[in-house]
Structure 1
Amino acid sequence: MTDLTRIALPTGVELDVQIAGPEGAPAVFLLHGFPESHRTWRGIVPDLARDHRAIAPDQRGYAASSKPANVADYAPDRIVGDLLALADHLGVDRFTLVGHDWGGAVAWMAALGRPDRVERLVIVNAPHPLVFQRSLFDDADQRAASQYITRFRDTGIDQGLVGQGLERFLATSFAQHTAGALLGEDKAAYLAEWSHPGAMTAMLNWYRASSIVVPAPGEDPPRPAFLDAPFPPVTQPTLVIWGTGDKALLPVQLDGLDALVPDLTVERVDAGHFVPWQNPQAVIDAMRRWGI
């Protein structure tokens, strides 16, 4: 069982955090996505911890970490604030930041907003904010694949996500994407994490607090002006690891990325969306080749 440290942050939340590796070694923060926890990195942290300080929090709303009551409490800037406050608490100035799924969305934002803190960036199947929003307007296949976001924003689903409803959710929205990797102890651990009071609502509130616009198929809503305006570049060296079998985030998310991230390396790997579960060795190998 993973040992977790409970840390109270000045952002008003308490997070459970896995910390591994030698004190004083270069710090790597690892941010999980939906509907996970620090367990996302269970096949990756042991290797990183050989020569890095690996720090993997259960982010706000997840597992036993704090679950603020309001949707606005899950806006991306609040979650970036947690990351920076956690780094401050641990005495870490600059660090490598790794993010998957929603954790990757937070990582993109942190890299764009705080290049003084984020030294290097590793993204695992998480779209750049401009590329993603643009694709939801311009790519019919990505728009269709993203309709689950609209379903997750419906608060009416929350009441069914208890008991057997959690088992159904695991089978239909998670386990089928992990290619049989979610078994036994791992399955039981996730069901236990999701069973914390308010956990499912808190996790889904990440979708509800996001400003991303998801048009319905065939809809022609007003186009946000920023989609066709200059966008600030990501200045850090950036490694994007992409599971090519992802059915939710399609390969269009890599199109034009090099123009937004000048120092970009892309590694395509054999996996679906949940790459850290399905092919953790490919993630380790890609990061090590890149110089982590």
Structure 2
Amino acid sequence: MIEMPPLQFAKLNGIRMGYYDAGPMSDAPPVVLCHGWPEMAFSWRHQIKALAAAGIRVIAPDQRGYGATSRPDAVEDYSIEHLTGDLVALLDHLKIDKAIFVGHDWGGFIVWQMPLRHRDRVAGVVGVNTPHTDRAPVDPLQIYKKRFGETMYIVQFQDPAHEPDRIFGENVDKAFDFFMRKPMPRKHANVGEAPVGGIGASSKTNLAFPQMVAAYDPGKDPRQKILSDEEKKIFVDAFKESGFTGGINWYRNMSANWARAEGLDHTVRVPSLMIMAENDAVLPPSSADGMENIIPDLEKYLVKDSGHWTQQEKPDEVSQVLIDWRRRRFG
């Protein structure tokens, strides 16, 4: 039986957002959990339960374009300003002054942006797998193209005809079978084991995810599943309803986000924690090297024997790290 708090809704920042809110309302600062792609607040089910049981208030939204939250049509409505603005508006709705923002995958990129853009609303930041970096010297899409070629999924996601969206939408069940597995041990790793995130991967890694999902045969995949059948059904049903375009539109703003970030001070001036996963092929622990240079108050923690879906692969360990750090730094 999967336990989740009741889903609540708020009208904010031009959308209707679905979110979960658990733990004592009096606890401050609360922890806001931000998911990545292709996920939703349900990805944090283990942490919601554990943090609430530890007496910590925890809030987990389905972010713009996902799950129970609105999916605007315009690509521009998924800019970094909108995505960080949604989190500020959620705090306003809940009458919360400051929060600790925890983000995995794309959610990690969003939470590292929060203290750069909304410093007065951020008590602390935790990145799960996703490092914080200074602004790239050139458009990130040019880096992806040069390093991985035109078939790399983020490059493909720029397709105005939405072909990747269609492929995933026609193969939802296969997509979650493909993505939500533990990586093979390193000596056996090959195509199909790379997860979804930033630019830490080797240029040999096959990142043509739409085509890989279309051709995928779950029966021939030796990797261990992360999700139970019941858990997978929740993801599959949600994405059959929502489609993938909302989440992919986050990627379609990467060049515009990069252009508008010129001149933005990328130093993070709040207590921060970087949780790294030993076997994440796209966001390896080495991608977090040098974060200390732009985050003066940074701790790091390595989760061993975990691939990309760290909070679901190693839920108890991730939950305990969050609880310990939160208590140590914020009482």
Q: What is the TM-score of this pair, normalised by structure 1?
A: 0.85
Residue 190 of structure 1 pairs with residue 225 of structure 2: no
Q: What residue in structure 2 maps to residue 221 of structure 1?
A: none
Q: What residue in structure 2 maps to residue 210 of structure 1?
A: 254
Long gaps (5+) in structure 1: 215-223
Deviation, structure 1 residue 66: 0.2
Long gaps (5+) in structure 2: 184-194, 196-223
Which of 164, 169, 182 aligns to 1:162? It is 169
Deviation, structure 1 residue 182: 1.3
Partner SS for 2:287: helix
State the superposition RMSD in angstroms.
2.9
Aligned residues with identical type, % of pairs: 32
Which of 9, 25, 35 aligns to 2:38? It is 35
Partner SS for 1:162: helix
Deviation, structure 1 residue 21: 0.6
Partner SS for 2:269: coil
- In structure 1, what is the Cα distance between the partners aligned to 2:169 and 2:321? 38
Q: What residue in structure 1 maps to residue 67 of structure 2?
A: 63
Say which is worse superposed, 124-133 or 282-291, in terms of deviation. 124-133
Deviation, structure 1 residue 126: 1.1
Q: What residue in structure 1 maps to residue 154 of structure 2?
A: 149
Partner SS for 2:176: helix
* 1:104-183 paired onto structure 2 within 5 Å: 104-130=108-134, 143-144=147-148, 147-154=152-159, 155-163=162-170, 165-175=171-181, 179-183=224-228
Contact 1:28–1:52 at 8 Å: present in 2 too? yes
- In structure 1, what is the Cα distance between the partners aligned to 2:264 and 2:49? 40
- In structure 2, what is the Cα distance between the partners aligned to 1:88 and 1:7? 10
Residue 77 of structure 1 pairs with residue 122 of structure 2: no
Task: Say if 1:78 and 1:139 are closer, same or farther in 2 by CA, change over 3 A.
Answer: closer
Q: What residue in structure 2 maps to residue 242 of structure 1?
A: 276
- In structure 1, what is the Cα distance between the partners aligned to 2:279 and 2:136? 17
Partner SS for 2:134: helix
Contact 1:133–1:213 at 8 Å: present in 2 too? no
Deviation, structure 1 residue 252: 3.3
Deviation, structure 1 residue 258: 0.4
- In structure 1, what is the Cα distance between the partners aligned to 2:154 and 2:229? 29
Contact 1:166–1:191 at 8 Å: present in 2 too? yes
